[in-house]
A and B are shown apart, each in its own frame.
Chain A
Amino acid sequence: MLRFLLNRLLTAIPTLLIIATLAFALLHATPGGPFDSAKRIPPAIQASIEAKYHLNEPLWRQYVRYLSDLAHGDLGPSFQYRDTSVNALIRQGLPVDATIGVCALLVALLFGGAGGILAALRRNTAGDYVPMFFAALGISLPTFVIGPLLILVFAVRLHWLPSGDWVAGSISHLILPVIALALPYTAYIARMVRGATIEVMTSPFIRTARAKGLPRRTVILRHALRPILTPLVSFLGPAFAGVLTGSIIIESVFGLPGIGRYFVTGAINRDYTLVVGITVLYGALIIVFNLLADLCYAWLDPRVRLQS
């Protein structure tokens, strides 16, 4: 177990190195620099700006400098927000994304999971078709349609909820973004759970449980639930990493100060450090959550053995 963990964490280092290198190279290869302004800047001033951000050094040296800072946990200064560091931006954005993302995934798990199981148990009846219709709708309606629609109905028309903004601790500001983000996940989870439930419910060990005369509730909760959850776990690992680094569209629509928005404006403004920093963070989160998913896997399914 320990050996497995160590091994996985060690292989993460070269993976992150490759991610950082690729992001760094791609960004620097993009035409247009962070301080290319429409106005012509005197060379002395241009040189001073470039020196401040080390852009005057050869690329390989910038790369080495970046990696060494990265190793110390310093993602560097933001180029577009000239008085802020990338670390400060992530510190500010991550809690926002984490709050909305975790709430959305919990909502999705609760409603998607319950909906999927119930639909499977009422297979080929109205109790199956109705939730699956909404699941199909949820998957096919993108967040950039749902978000503005929710705003129009609940903020513009009914004035029930705020149309955006982030107020720490305020539940009313959370509701619309969480629903918008949760809908596609809920739909996806419902379909996945339904499929898994149907498969599990027809497997021999469930038949055995039933044959023993166990009540339906016990069969489902004690015996079926764990195998049903197994495929979910492998989905949730990357999904968690995804919501933590922010949903660009949700943040844009609701005007939230999350990492996804920083990432997009960063890419447009050639904020090299910010974009590479968020990419590396995303990579690291994927690795961590995949690892957690594998651990959960082993716990849920005794047949899985963690091997290095």
Chain B
Amino acid sequence: MRPRCGLLQWRWVRRLPALAAALLLGCGGATTQAPAPSSITVGTALAADQSVTRTLNAMPRTLDPSLLTDEPGQTVMDDLFEGLTTIGPDDNIVPGVARSWDMSADGKTWLFHLRPEARWSNGDPVTAADFVYAWRREVDPKTGSEYAQALAPIVNAEAIATGHAPVDSLGVTALDAHTLRVALVSPTPYLLAVLADNYLLPLHRATIERYGDSWTRPAHMVSNGPYVLSELIVGDRITLTRNPLYWGAANVRVTRVTYYPLDPDEQVSRFMAGDVEMTSYFPGPQFRWLKSQLGNQVVTGPYLGIQMLGFNMIDPPFAHNRNLRLALNMAVDRNILADKIYQGLNRPAYSIVPPLPGYTPQTPAWASWSDDQRHAEARRLYAAAGYSAAHPLHVQLDYPTDDEHRDLMAALAAMWRTNLGADVEPYNEEFRVLTQNLQLHKSSLFWNSWIGDFPDPFTFVQLAQKDDGQNYGRFDDPRYEALLVAAGNEADNAQRYRYFEQAEDLLNQEAPFLPLVYYTTRHLIKPYLKGWHSNLQDRLPTRYLYVLEHQGR
């Protein structure tokens, strides 16, 4: 679970290529003929050269799976390592190192049967002990993993992470070289999805013990995935080559993948120059222009993430003032935001859980009202909250410095001024400063965003859980806690989702958040690069890609 951030905000630099591009490429006027960059002809046979170039939004802060926390790192991990389960070609969870598994009747004990042919890149077999070692290392406070709590479903993981139990008491046991037993605190229907994540990957103990912190260097790293690390230049590129010892190597077609960490604007120019074939992002304000230049090389899809605002539920003016929170919610025209600010890229959001298979989103009734009806109700609630033209709401809206955010905040302030007469002042802060202020609960009204770690409503509804670190607004409602506890103890996933639906409905009524838009995945992909599927988690492992014969770039 991570907030969406981290793209380097070097504002002048980021804006300029767009401007220069508009100058150069757009100077022929709006009716310019097909632009040069997309003159590519694609054949049907596989290309002789199966190497691929991709981008990352930033340099991963580390390539140690236990320590990494960022999205770029996760992308690289999907190529380098393989967990018990792994991401399939179309975002489904498929068997990875585990060939099969059994779950006990109460859903609390799982047995994983590892495939004997799984190998490390140095030839050693991948055994159950490698998972035990890696998971213990993850929760051991000495390791300093910021993600240790992700293992919380496993027996004793929390006690170990907080220093209250010995590391070897973790509920994971190697019954023999190829059988792993995992004991859970409560039924965890999303376990199989979590097992594909980077903090539950196996690790090669001998390598880590031999090289210490430097085990992640290309010369030292031993991994068990479809690729091995062959080059790493901080700030420039990460190169991976196919791992011939990977058990499924016969099905891996791309022989070499190079990742370039770049700012969004530079990703676009590299793509248009033909120097990278798949980007991980592009700047939102360029969406329509890119679409006109590149056509269906611009690939977007639903993403498991939401952008929203949060209210401080403890301090005035929003504490004990549901009417005011709802009034602000209803006065926002999300269609305008989605269309004008995001150029149709992001979709309007009225509740915090993005659309998920099997889950019925709890959209509030007013979401389908006409603008006039909604604004009228917003004004009524605003007045009922004790505000008027003579006595308007004055509040500061804190957000992280970024061009896209700035436009969004200005639009919000304008909507509240027009529709309610409220005086909301956007105030930008550097991301780290904002985060610190949020953790200290200094802010009344603040920007917030969230990307789910696995496709389950839990990763969103937990944001309003009393003890969650992201509950910046300090929403605290016993009814809500009870629903989440009930869901946690429920082994039947359908029933569990019903609890989450009730919880989300409660959030709509109490309005501790102001949902704005659901995020969209943004890629530029060359027409000859195939094998990818847009998916909710935006994970496009290289192992499924292949390159078709082509001319031009």
Q: Which residue of A lies closest to B12 (CB)?
A: A144
Within the complex, the shortest CB–CB distance from A176 to chain B, in Å, comes to 10
Within the complex, the shortest CB–CB distance from A201 to chain B, in Å, comes to 40
Known: A92-B233, A257-B235. A36 touches B17 (CB 8 A): no
- In the complex, are the beta carbons of B272 and A156 less than 8 A apart? yes
Known: A38-B469, A149-B20, A157-B36. A163 touches B269 (CB 8 A): yes
- C-alpha spacing A140/B274, complex, angstroms: 31
- The contact of B430 among A32, A45, A84, A254, by CB within 8 Å, is A32
Known: A48-B141, A152-B24, A162-B275. A249 touches B430 (CB 8 A): no
Within the complex, the shortest CB–CB distance from A59 to chain B, in Å, comes to 17
Task: Name 21 A/B residue pairs within 8 A (Cβ), A-sorted.
Answer: A32-B432, A32-B435, A32-B436, A39-B1, A40-B469, A43-B163, A45-B145, A48-B141, A48-B142, A82-B64, A83-B62, A155-B275, A157-B24, A163-B270, A164-B275, A253-B17, A253-B266, A255-B261, A255-B266, A257-B234, A268-B9
Contact with B along A263-302 (1 / 0, CB 8 A): 0110011100000000000000000000000000000000
The CB with the most chain B CB atoms within 10 A, among A33, A148, A163, A252, is that of: A148
- The contact of A145 among B1, B20, B67, by CB within 8 Å, is B20
- The contact of B62 among A52, A81, A256, by CB within 8 Å, is A81
- In the complex, are the beta carbons of A93 and B8 less than 8 A apart? no
Q: Does A123 contact B (CB under 8 A)?
A: no
CB interface residues, B 136-165, toward A, < 8 Å: 141-149, 158, 161-163
CB interface residues, A 137-174, toward B, < 8 Å: 142, 144-145, 147-149, 151-153, 155-157, 159, 162-166
- In the complex, are the beta carbons of B233 and A39 less than 8 A apart? no
Q: Does A31 contact B (CB under 8 A)?
A: yes
The CB with the most chain A CB atoms within 10 A, among B2, B144, B265, is that of: B144
- C-alpha spacing A92/B23, complex, angstroms: 36
Within the complex, the shortest CB–CB distance from A87 to chain B, in Å, comes to 13
- C-alpha spacing A153/B274, complex, angstroms: 13
- In the complex, are the beta carbons of A38 and B3 less than 8 A apart? yes
Within the complex, the shortest CB–CB distance from A92 to chain B, in Å, comes to 6
Within the complex, the shortest CB–CB distance from B25 to chain A, in Å, comes to 7
Contact with A along B271-287 (1 / 0, CB 8 A): 01111000000000000
- C-alpha spacing A42/B161, complex, angstroms: 7
| Complex contacts, B62 vs chain A, CB 8 Å | 81-83
The CB with the most chain B CB atoms within 10 A, among A83, A145, A149, A269, is that of: A83
| Complex contacts, B1 vs chain A, CB 8 Å | 39
- In the complex, are the beta carbons of A45 and B141 less than 8 A apart? yes
- C-alpha spacing A275/B469, complex, angstroms: 29
- In the complex, are the beta carbons of A36 and B435 less than 8 A apart? yes
Size band of the interface chain A makes with B: 35 or more
- In the complex, are the beta carbons of B143 and A48 less than 8 A apart? yes
Q: Does B37 contact A (CB under 8 A)?
A: yes
| Complex contacts, B553 vs chain A, CB 8 Å | 159
The 7 closest A-B pairs by CB, nearest first: A40-B469, A32-B432, A44-B163, A257-B236, A163-B273, A155-B273, A257-B235
Query: What total of chain B residues lie within 8 Å of the partner, measured CB to CB?
Result: 72
- In the complex, are the beta carbons of B61 and A165 less than 8 A apart? no
Q: Does A107 contact B (CB under 8 A)?
A: no
Q: Which residue of A lies closest to B20 (CB)?
A: A148
- C-alpha spacing A93/B233, complex, angstroms: 9
Q: Does B98 contact A (CB under 8 A)?
A: no
Known: A36-B432, A39-B469, A152-B269. A84 touches B12 (CB 8 A): no
Q: Does B470 contact A (CB under 8 A)?
A: yes
- The contact of B161 among A45, A92, A142, A165, by CB within 8 Å, is A45
Q: Does B21 contact A (CB under 8 A)?
A: yes
Q: Does A202 contact B (CB under 8 A)?
A: no
Contact with A along B248-276 (1 / 0, CB 8 A): 00000000000011110110011011110
Within the complex, the shortest CB–CB distance from A9 to chain B, in Å, comes to 32
